[in-house]
Amino acid sequence: SQTIHQWPATLVQPVGSPLSLECTVEGTSNPNLYWYRQAAGRGLQLLFYSVGIGQISSEVPQNLSASRPQDRQFILSSKKLLLSDSGFYLCAWGTGDTQYFGPGTRLTVL
């Protein structure tokens, strides 16, 4: 069966510090991969999606970036965090018309 991992589960970072969140998927090949952010009281906002290694599409202009160095690995990064980057970050994978989400990372920027 397929499994999706995200780490860390929680993170507290100062403004201006770098960020690296990792997501890995097991049990499937060539999945579509997604990064979402969920701010308090708001819906899921699609940040990036990828249909293959090295293929990244950005949905929202911001100081975040994403990379897919391997088929089942998706990384979300930032060089300098802003207060507004706080939120719940979710990675998801899909091979068709359904998405499966990871456990999420709660990021607090102080």
In the chain, what is the greatest distance between 2 CA atoms, to the nearest angstrom? 39
Residue 67's CB is within 10 A of a number of other CB atoms, namely: 16
Is residue 11 a contact residue for other proteins (CB under 8 A)? no
Q: Which position has the token pair 């997501």?
A: 23
Options 62, 63, 103, 108; binder of other proteins; rule CB under 8 A: 103
User: Which is closer to other proteins, CB of 14 or CB of 96?
Assistant: 96
Residues 42-81 touching other proteins, rule: CB under 8 A, are: 42-44, 46, 49, 51, 57, 59
Euclidean distance between CA atoms 95 and 18, whole angstroms:
31
Is residue 107 a contact residue for other proteins (CB under 8 A)? no
Backbone angles phi, psi at 83, to 5 degrees: -55, -40
Q: Which residues are near other proteins by CB under 8 A? A: 32, 36, 41-44, 46, 49, 51, 57, 59, 88, 90, 92, 94, 96-104, 106
